């Protein structure tokens, strides 16, 4: 079990606009991922972050 990451480990860029699939156009996380972020363990956050580039490319 990992420790919880501090707030500095976040892909948030302050552009919080969602598309029709509930994916943020700024950080490319889903609304569910964003709402759960503060309670996620390091491993969970790193998994989400590892998928962000692919998610971004699929949207644009």
Is the separation of the CB atoms in 26 and 15 below 8 Å?
Answer: yes
Domain boundaries along the sequence of the chain = 16-60
Percent of the chain with pLDDT over 70: 87
**pTM score, whole prediction:** 0.81
Residue ranges in 1-60 assigned as alpha helix (H): 31-36, 42-59
Mean pLDDT of 17-32: 95
Compare 1 and 35 and report the one with higher pLDDT: 35
- Between the alpha carbon of residue 33 and those of residues 2, 40, 58, the distances in Å are 18, 9, 18
Measured distance CA(25)–CA(29) in Å, rounded: 8
pLDDT score of 1 more than 70:
no
Averaged pLDDT for residues 38-57: 94
């Amino acid at each position: 079990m990992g420790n919880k990451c501090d707030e500095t480990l976040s892909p948030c860029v302050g552009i919080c606009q969602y598309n029709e699939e509930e994916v943020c156009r700024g950080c490319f996380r889903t609304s569910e991922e964003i709402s759960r972020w503060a309670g996620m363990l390091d491993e969970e956050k790193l998994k989400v972050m590892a998928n962000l580039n692919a998610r971004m490319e699929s949207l644009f």
